[in-house]
């Protein structure tokens, strides 16, 4: 596959269909999964449990009673139907962060983009340690970095489809040595390609801060770094403001999830959508313009409308009217959905 040069990419964005003028991206969801396998590897064979349905919907969507079957969405046809709903509601670009360990399907996403007209920007790199390929334990920082550079400049996972940003790079609490090596490699790949970097932090309130210190020590650029899953990670204003002061872009990406029962971390009070907007309001009022993006991070089939969930159109259909009722200006909404994503997705 031909290798794009830094000069060919600078000032442009890269979707699954190729390089584009960033002006075409429009209204953008910065963190979704369209085709994925989030089953922990030991659960990928054997009994897959119940299919998501009406009778088990509450347990499936809250993860209080999930099944492996609910964590696996391999169908491009299902994704096409779901993305078409988002496009009809006003979504123009979806950032798809299914990466190494959770079964990325670049050619499937190309079909989804062709069928729906939605721009799809893919991530690259590797997710949290439990999902990583066994051979990754023996790989060096330079090896991971070279792989990510090639995924941006040449192609992803043996295809000609290229990545448009790096991540979601998986970090946990406690943060493992393998995950640190992958993030260190991602920083090298970011410097070589000019791509933005998006990070899945561990579930502890100051873990994102730990990640930002790691990045600062290695000369990373916080303004081209996105900290995902703020909604399930940071509960108090001091921690939120301290993180915002690093200059990182904060991502509230669990819109639609409204359960206070969060089995992955019982210590957090997961906000509902109004609570998310209150937190975003505080950050904007403190002057952090251009540091907020949003999404749904759909990764259970029961989150999708076909299985009774809110789906990828929820932000455009339901949250934007709520933002207007809560006093967000059109300029603020445009900054969150259009301008900040466009800046991030434009190669430096």
Interface residues toward Zn ion, by CB under 5 A: 97, 297
What whole-number distance in Å separates Cα of residue 303 and Cα of residue 102? 17
> Could you give the angle at the alpha carbon of 139 between the alpha carbons of 220 and 101, nearest 5°?
80
79 neighbors 73 (Cβ within 8 angstroms): yes
Enter the tokens of residue 157.
């996972």
* Alpha-carbon torsion, ordered 72, 74, 76, 77, to 10 deg: -70
Nearest residue to 52 via CA among 318, 309, 292: 309
By CB neighbour count within 10 A (0-12 exposed, 13-18 middle, 19+ buried), where does 325 fall? exposed
Q: Who contacts 228 (Cβ-Cβ below 8 Å, separation ≥6)?
A: 31, 167, 168, 198, 199, 200, 201, 251, 253, 297
In the complex, the smallest distance separating the C-beta of residue 33 from Zn ion, rounded to whole angstroms, is: 6
Nearer to Zn ion (CB atom), residue 4 or residue 270:
270
In the complex, the smallest distance separating the C-beta of residue 287 from Zn ion, rounded to whole angstroms, is: 28
- Nearest position to Zn ion, beta carbon: 297
Nearer to Zn ion (CB atom), residue 9 or residue 234:
234
In the complex, the smallest distance separating the C-beta of residue 264 from Zn ion, rounded to whole angstroms, is: 13
199 neighbors 221 (Cβ within 8 angstroms): no
Nearer to Zn ion (CB atom), residue 92 or residue 297:
297
In the complex, the smallest distance separating the C-beta of residue 21 from Zn ion, rounded to whole angstroms, is: 27
Nearer to Zn ion (CB atom), residue 97 or residue 152:
97
Nearest residue to 104 via CA among 55, 156, 62: 156
Nearer to Zn ion (CB atom), residue 243 or residue 254:
254
In the complex, the smallest distance separating the C-beta of residue 126 from Zn ion, rounded to whole angstroms, is: 13
197 neighbors 163 (Cβ within 8 angstroms): no
> Could you give the angle at the alpha carbon of 39 between the alpha carbons of 109 and 129, nearest 5°?
95
In the complex, the smallest distance separating the C-beta of residue 201 from Zn ion, rounded to whole angstroms, is: 12
Residue in the structure block whose two tokens are 């406690």: 174
- Collapsing DSSP to helix, strand or coil, 161 comes out as coil
In the complex, the smallest distance separating the C-beta of residue 1 from Zn ion, rounded to whole angstroms, is: 26
Nearer to Zn ion (CB atom), residue 74 or residue 321:
74
Nearer to Zn ion (CB atom), residue 189 or residue 298:
298
Nearer to Zn ion (CB atom), residue 228 or residue 335:
228
274 neighbors 326 (Cβ within 8 angstroms): yes
Nearer to Zn ion (CB atom), residue 34 or residue 279:
34
In the complex, the smallest distance separating the C-beta of residue 309 from Zn ion, rounded to whole angstroms, is: 15
In the complex, the smallest distance separating the C-beta of residue 128 from Zn ion, rounded to whole angstroms, is: 11
Give the 3-state secondary structure percentages of the chain, helix then strand then coil, rounded to 5.
45, 15, 45
């Amino acid at each position: 596959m031909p290798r794009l040069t830094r000069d060919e990419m600078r000032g442009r964005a890269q979707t699954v269909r190729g390089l584009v003028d960033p002006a075409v991206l429009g209204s953008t969801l910065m963190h979704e999964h369209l085709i994925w396998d989030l089953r922990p590897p030991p659960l990928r064979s054997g009994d897959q449990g119940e299919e998501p349905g009406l009778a088990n919907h509450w347990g499936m969507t809250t993860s209080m009673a999930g099944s492996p079957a609910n964590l696996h969405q391999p169908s491009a046809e299902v994704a096409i139907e779901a993305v078409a709903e988002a496009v009809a509601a006003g979504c123009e670009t979806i950032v798809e962060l299914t990466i190494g360990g959770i079964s990325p399907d670049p050619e499937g996403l190309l079909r989804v983009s062709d069928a729906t007209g939605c721009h799809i920007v893919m991530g690259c790199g590797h997710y949290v340690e439990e999902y990583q390929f066994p051979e990754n334990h023996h790989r060096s920082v330079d090896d991971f970095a070279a792989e990510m550079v090639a995924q941006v400049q040449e192609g992803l996972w043996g295809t000609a489809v290229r990545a448009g940003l790096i991540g979601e790079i998986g970090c946990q609490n406690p943060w493992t040595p393998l995950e640190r090596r992958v993030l260190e490699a991602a920083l090298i790949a970011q410097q070589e390609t000019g791509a933005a970097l998006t990070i899945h932090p561990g579930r502890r309130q100051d873990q994102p801060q730990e990640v930002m210190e790691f990045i600062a020590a290695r000369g990373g650029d916080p303004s081209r770094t996105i900290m995902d899953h703020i909604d399930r990670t940071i509960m108090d204003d001091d921690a939120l403001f301290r993180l915002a002061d690093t200059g990182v872009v904060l991502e509230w990406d669990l819109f639609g999830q409204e359960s206070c029962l969060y089995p992955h971390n019982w210590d957090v009070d997961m906000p509902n959508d109004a609570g998310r907007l209150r937190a975003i309001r505080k950050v904007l009022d403190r002057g952090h313009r251009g540091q907020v993006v949003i999404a749904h991070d759909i990764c259970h089939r029961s989150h999708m409308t076909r299985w009774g969930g809110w789906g990828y159109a929820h932000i455009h259909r339901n949250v934007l009217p709520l933002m207007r009722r809560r006093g967000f200006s059109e300029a603020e909404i445009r900054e969150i959905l259009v301008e900040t994503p466009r800046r991030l997705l434009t190669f430096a």
